[in-house]
Amino acid sequence: MKLGQHKQKSFRVKLIFIFLFVAMVPLIAVAWSNFYLVTQNREQNVLELQRLALANAEDKVSRLFNEKIDNLQLVVSAPIDTLYQLRASDIKFLLESSFSPGYYKRLDMIDKTGNLLATIGKDSDFSINKIYLDNFSSTSPYVSELESMIDEKKAVYFSGIEGDLKNLPDFQTAILGDNYFGPKEEVDGESVMRIASQIMNSENEVIGVISAEINTLDIQKQIELIQVGNEGGIIILDSEGLIIYQSKKSPFLYKSEMTVFPLINKLIEKKQIGVSSYEEYIYNEKQRVLSGRYYEKLNWYFLSDWPVKDAFSVVGNLFSQTSKIFFGIIVLVVVIALIFSSQVTKPVKKLTEGVKRIKEGKLDQDISIKTDDEFEVLGEQFNEMTKVLKENKELRDEFVFVAAHELRTPVTAIKGYLSMVLEGGFGEINDKTKDALMICNKSNERLVQLVQDLLEIARSEAGRMKIELKKNNINELIDTTIGELKSLSDEKGIKVSYKNEGDRPVLADQAKLQEVLVNIVGNAIKYTKGDGDIEIWHEEKEEFLVTHIKDHGIGMTKEEVDQLFSKFYRAQNEDTANIQGTGLGLFICKEIINKMKGEVWVESEKGKGSVFSFKLKKE
């Protein structure tokens, strides 16, 4: 029975797994491929978004510098060949009025030979080179005007040596016609850089260079406004790979050396204009994505730094939503699989229960399977088989009953005549003949017992066993049984102990209960070797009285215990080889106890004896 149940459960589990496999594998394959494609597409999107962020940053910075350069370019509306043809007051006016003070910290006017002609600070501190005076006579109104400005502290002199700027990069670059953008520097705690452009006359001829030291705070403000996703930002590196500007969300320190990243080295090495393939890295225990491009005008490198978690949050959210849907689908599929497997295995379960009833000898119940398929046909065939088995069983029981009944008369007669012969009723017999007759008598007794057992079983299975439940004192029946078996126990030197503590009334058939006691106690004696004692006691459990019969015999294995109450079963081993029996006694005991609305069982361990127990309702 247990084996059948195990197979049934295994079949249902297999069916569920097959259903899940067929349903989920394509779904998993589609989900995985979609997720893979979404991830790949998101990588391209991340790269494109970073490219756009970098282009935006470059555009903002470029417009700022273009605006500064446009403001810096100076055209003198006169056909002069040199800046020395301008009056000092005109030079100061040009420097003061041509450029907004907010755009510069200092403005330098350089002649076309590289000498600093004049300079002005953001507080209108005007200075002029003494070389300027060398171009005029002492009576020149240019000189007297300048001296007057100096007297009024509107200007100061500086030496020509201090004004030699012809070797500086801002002059050299601008005089050749290119706008100059210098490196970012820290001056007096402020972030500044120098830019320079040409000074033209009205004839569009180069007559000098205008160079300005500008505050770059507006660049930092523009960079801080640029955001990549929710947590990413822009970083600007100088030509050496040091951070000069970055957004507030950047995890790096200012002036950090960024050349540790292969992407930065690639950009610096190739000065590649445009977006490089993004690179993933880990910084401060966070995985991040880095993209970059080279800005040729300023010789700067623009980077887009973006945490992977934020960059791929769309994929994460999609995965989270997909996981919830996928989990829901799994639950739904499992529920459907359980329902489906239940419907499929239901007929199998009914057939299994039918087999179980047949095994128990219950052949009078049909199984009902209504599935309109092969299972229903199988159920009908099963019922037909049950009918045939029932008819065969009835014929067999009838045959056994008749045969046993017919055998009882001759074996009883043989037993009687053998007893008379052995007792000398037909005259004296010699010892040799007596020994032979004793063997015949023992064999005949076994045959008589077998016929009686067969009749008992036949009556039980045919419903002819008569059980009359009455109040009986089981303690009296136990004492009687011990007395009947005393010769057998004395022969083996076994003591059967039972403490009679008064009446123990139970509902039972006296003769049948006596038969059960004789069988169980007799077996305890037969299967006890040596001088092991047998103990009998009672235990009350609710409305039942439980009787225990413990021996110290050979015991049984678990496999033997499981089959002990089966018809014709006898343990086959060297310990039982010489013990006579039909294998029907305990089966009959079980039938009798069951019909008296009780239960019988055994607990045993090989080599340590057994405890047979049965319970009957108390009166």
* 477 part of a folded domain: yes
578 CA to centre of own chain: 61
* Three-state secondary-structure class, residue 245: strand
pLDDT given at position 1: 41
* 363 part of a folded domain: no
pLDDT given at position 306: 84
Structure tokens at 39: 């991830």
**555 and 577 in a common domain:** yes
Q: Find the mean pLDDT for residues 377-397.
A: 77
Closest to 601 (Cα-Cα) out of 609, 591, 590, 592: 590
* 367 part of a folded domain: no
CATH of the domain at 420: 1.10.287.130
The residue with greater pLDDT, 589 or 253, is: 589
pLDDT given at position 456: 64
Q: What is the DSSP string of 308-339?
A: HHHHTHHHHHHHHHHHHHHHHHHHHHHHHHHH
Residues 6+ apart with CB under 8 A from 411: 444, 447, 448, 451
**116 and 90 in a common domain:** yes
Q: Find the mean pLDDT for residues 376-393.
A: 80
* 364 part of a folded domain: no
**Domain end residue (candidates: 313, 344, 363):** 313
Task: Report the residue count for the chain.
Answer: 619
Given the DSSP bridges, would you call strands 544-550 and 534-541 parallel, antiparallel or unpaired?
A: antiparallel
pLDDT given at position 18: 79
The number of C-alpha atoms within 13 Å of 396 and in the hemisphere containing its C-beta is 10
pLDDT given at position 269: 74
Given the DSSP bridges, would you call strands 126-129 and 156-158 parallel, antiparallel or unpaired?
A: parallel
pLDDT given at position 147: 85
| pLDDT surpassing 80 at residue 80 | yes
Residues 67-76 have pLDDT tens digits of 888 888 888 8
pLDDT given at position 446: 64
**443 and 474 in a common domain:** no
Quickly state the pLDDT bin for 408 (edges 50, 70, 90).
Answer: low
* 365 part of a folded domain: no
pLDDT given at position 614: 93
The residue with greater pLDDT, 311 or 577, is: 311
pLDDT given at position 256: 66
| pLDDT surpassing 70 at residue 3 | no
**478 and 457 in a common domain:** no
Q: What is the chain's mean pLDDT, rounded?
A: 80
**476 and 386 in a common domain:** no
Under a CB-based contact definition with an 8 Å cutoff, are residues 182 and 195 in contact? yes
pLDDT given at position 544: 92
Closest to 524 (Cα-Cα) out of 545, 499, 555, 562: 555
Given the DSSP bridges, would you call strands 610-617 and 206-215 parallel, antiparallel or unpaired?
A: unpaired
Calpha distance 289→284 (Å, rounded):
13
Task: Kindly state the percentage of the chain with pLDDT values over 90.
Answer: 12
Residues 316-362 have pLDDT tens digits of 777 777 778 877 888 888 888 778 777 777 777 777 887 887 777 67
CATH of the domain at 229: 3.30.450.20
| pLDDT surpassing 60 at residue 5 | no
Residues 225-281 have pLDDT tens digits of 888 888 888 888 888 878 888 887 777 766 666 767 777 777 777 766 655 555 666
| pLDDT surpassing 60 at residue 180 | yes
**78 and 61 in a common domain:** no
**Domain end residue (candidates: 443, 461, 479):** 461
Residues 552-566 have pLDDT tens digits of 888 888 888 888 887
Residues 420-467 have pLDDT tens digits of 877 777 777 887 887 787 778 777 766 666 666 666 666 666 565 677
pTM: 0.52
| pLDDT surpassing 70 at residue 397 | no
Quickly state the pLDDT bin for 4 (edges 50, 70, 90).
Answer: very low
The residue with greater pLDDT, 609 or 16, is: 609
Q: Find the mean pLDDT for residues 575-588.
A: 68
- Residue ranges making up the domain that contains 10: 2-66+322-355
**584 and 496 in a common domain:** yes
Closest to 99 (Cα-Cα) out of 73, 78, 76: 73
**Domain end residue (candidates: 461, 479, 509):** 461
**579 and 454 in a common domain:** no
| pLDDT surpassing 50 at residue 191 | yes
| Angle separating helix axes 88-97 and 141-151, nearest 10 degrees | 60
* 366 part of a folded domain: no
Long-range CB pairs of 78-82 (<8 Å, 24+ gap) are: 78/201, 78/202, 79/201, 79/202, 79/203, 80/201, 80/207, 81/201, 81/205, 81/207, 82/111, 82/112, 82/207, 82/208
Q: How many structural domains comprise the chain?
A: 5
Calpha distance 220→240 (Å, rounded):
19
pLDDT given at position 348: 77
**612 and 519 in a common domain:** yes
Calpha distance 116→107 (Å, rounded):
11
**178 and 92 in a common domain:** yes
* 360 part of a folded domain: no
| pLDDT surpassing 90 at residue 110 | yes
**294 and 234 in a common domain:** yes
Quickly state the pLDDT bin for 574 (edges 50, 70, 90).
Answer: low
Under a CB-based contact definition with an 8 Å cutoff, are residues 313 and 326 in contact? no
**441 and 408 in a common domain:** yes
Amino acid making up residue 113? T
Q: Find the mean pLDDT for residues 495-511.
A: 86
* 42 part of a folded domain: yes
